[in-house]
Amino acid sequence: QKEVEQNSGPLSVPEGAIASLNCTYSDRVSQSFFWYRQYSGKSPELIMSIYSNGDKEDGRFTAQLNKASQYVSLLIRDSQPSDSATYLCAVPSGSARQLTFGSGTQLTVLP
Amino acid sequence: DAGVTQSPTHLIKTRGQHVTLRCSPISGHKSVSWYQQVLGQGPQFIFQYYEKEERGRGNFPDRFSARQFPNYSSELNVNALLLGDSALYLCASSSSTGGGRETQYFGPGTRLLVL
């Protein structure tokens, strides 16, 4: 089992819809979770971090964490074509708490 | 404030050569991590340095080495390049290490192509 798994996609949603991105992790002691957005040919950009069970909202983005189910998700409301990118879920692990990434979900928002 | 900077942005090498990639962290950040990202995958951890000491090493061969300087900048060295080393090399900085809550901020990356 991979340490961090994401629904591989690709995922396509129409403009204005809600995009839902999912991630599961295997390390039960993980305390923090990060979502990065990566445009094609660019480096990852942090969009959300979450540490506690429940929801965390930032503008059109909502991160949801369920530690009992080892599940974290990212919702993008009112999706825009500019949201088209690969979304990476990352969880600190290992002795240095380095980030372990999922393989990413490619999102396309159709105008 | 300037973000994480990396140089060069692109690099073409041939098999067997060696390469040195450079990274300057965000001002005030003392921790630098290196990641390798091949096409279609998430970044894979290579090294982490904090206060010039290696704090973590990923599952990469000894051909990969790194160091951190007193000004917290860092170099990643790869010897005896293989075709499979072609990837985007990412540097990330954070304010400290340990605990796991520190946010890592990525530089623009160095795209390495090995022919």
The chain B residue lying nearest A102, using CA atoms, is B42
Tell me the two tokens of residue B101: 């809550």
- Asked if A91 contacts A25 with a C-beta cutoff of 8 angstroms, the reply is yes
Q: Which residue among A32, A94, A104 places its CB closest to the CB of B42?
A: A104
CA separation for the pair B104, B107 (Å, rounded): 10
> Is the link from the previous residue into A10 a cis peptide, with omega within 30 of 0?
yes
CA separation for the pair B79, B63 (Å, rounded): 5
Angle at B26 between CA A32 and CA B32, to 5 degrees: 60
CA dihedral over B82, B87, B88, B91, signed as positive or negative: negative
Q: Which residues of A touch B103 (CB under 8 A)?
A: 34, 46, 49
Report CA-CA distances (Å) from B16 to B21, B36, B81: 16, 19, 5
Q: What is the pLDDT of residues A19-33, one digit of tens each?
A: 999 999 998 888 899
CA distance, residue A15 to nearest chain B CA (Å) = 25
Q: What is the pLDDT of residues B44-81, one digit of tens each?
A: 999 999 989 999 999 999 999 999 999 999 999 999 99
A47 interface with B at CB cutoff 8 Å: no
Q: What is the pLDDT of residues A55-90, one digit of tens each?
A: 999 999 999 999 999 999 999 999 999 999 999 999
User: Hey, of B106, B111, B112, B113, which one would you mutate to test binding to chain A, going by the most A CBs within 10 A of its CB?
Assistant: B106
Q: Name the nearest CA neighbour of B76 among B2, B6, B4, B3.
A: B6
Q: Name the nearest CA neighbour of A13 among A104, A87, A82, A111.
A: A111
B95 interface with A at CB cutoff 8 Å: no
Contact A104 B41 (CB under 8 A): yes
Identity of the amino acid at B105: Y
CA distance, residue A85 to nearest chain B CA (Å) = 12
Between B103 and B1, where is the model more confident? B103
Percent above pLDDT 90 for chain B = 88
A94 interface with B at CB cutoff 8 Å: yes
CA separation for the pair A108, B2 (Å, rounded): 30
